[in-house]
Amino acid sequence: MTEKLKAGIVGGTGMVGQRFVALLDQHPWFQVTAIAASAGSAGKTYEQSVQGRWKLSSAIPDDVKQIIVQDASKVEEVAAQVDFIFCAVDMKKDEIKALEEAYAKTGTPVISNNSAHRWTPDVPMVIPEINPEHIEVIAAQRKRLGTSTGFIAVKPNCSIQSYVPMLHALQQFKPTTVVASTYQAISGAGKNFTDWPEMLDNVIPYIGGEEEKSEQEPLRIWGSIVNDEIVKASTPVITTQCIRVPVTDGHLATVFVSFENKPSKEEILASWKQFKGRPQELDLPSAPKQFINYFEEDNRPQTKLDRDIEQGMAISAGRLREDSLYDYKFVGLSHNTLRGAAGGAVLIAELLKAEGYIQPK
């Protein structure tokens, strides 16, 4: 590629927005040309707008420090400066829906980190290795929105990426029942320990709305396009518990699963090792070379040691063994703000660009 696509970040001052800024620094395909946020941040340089609240260990990239933050509500002005946007705003769900559709109607593709459109029937919710074919529903969405180039695509809840990839790689054995408990980092709430001292030496056994998302969103990922909308799958039956634990980044899951056709342990391990998706076939810039990484050690994967495998874009698994009530049990791990949030959205954008859905305006 000789000229990079112009990317905007709407909601660029929050934790996920900051991740977008960091990930897009020196990206081979995309360059940040606009950052938008609330009216309170508008008019400041990006460096000024995040002063005292930059949450990442890496420094603010030089290329964005002097970008003037714009008012995200001034849709036409922001859209005119970009080929597509990433959206990570902190607003009410109805407001997010309206804002993202307004951007799409300007002919601007929207890659959303928000949950607002995850159940809109003609909006694809994508894990690129698992359901890339769902982007085909964009044609119907464009008709509804009255645009030939704009659309919305979303990434799913961050926690499901700690176990859904492993289950997906075993689809040929037909999983029937899944019990999963997720142990989720505080960055999933957009916080660190300075913001949330109550989490030190503490575990909170509740995350609002998370269990419903964790049980239902995998079924939409495994669904199919019927009459220009995505219809969720009916199996497997999934039940979850979601728990907040005192770690900075990384969601760990403990999983129990039964199958219609029970595989051997060797078949499971081979399926995980061999699994590749469309991002690996296309060699996308953010795609991990080995999507699912299995650890033989009894005490792995560990959140602190293993969340950053392949720049936080790979998934880890371990402790696979037969169970007395279910067929098997295992542990999974994903980086929630990289694979699960901003990094996953960047990978979606790379897929959409490679498949011709995002182009220069």
Any idea which residues carry the catalytic annotation?
158, 251
Residue 42: count other Cβ atoms within 10 Å of its Cβ.
Answer: 16
- CA dist 336 to 236, 239, 350, Å? 23, 20, 19
Per the omega criterion (within 30 degrees of 0), is the bond before 236 cis? yes
Amino acid identity for residue 180 in this structure: A
Cα–Cα distance between 257 and 243 in angstroms, integer? 20
- CA dist 107 to 49, 74, 154, 339, Å? 28, 15, 17, 27
DSSP assigned state of 63: H
Which residue in 166, 109, 100 sits closest to 135, CA to CA?
109
Amino acid identity for residue 209 in this structure: G
Q: Which residue has the tokens 């603010």?
A: 60
Amino acid identity for residue 76 in this structure: E
Asked if 75 and 107 count as a contact pair (C-beta separation under 8 A), the reply is no
Angle of helix 15-24 versus helix 343-354 axis, rounded to 10: 50
Structure tokens at 144: 């509804």
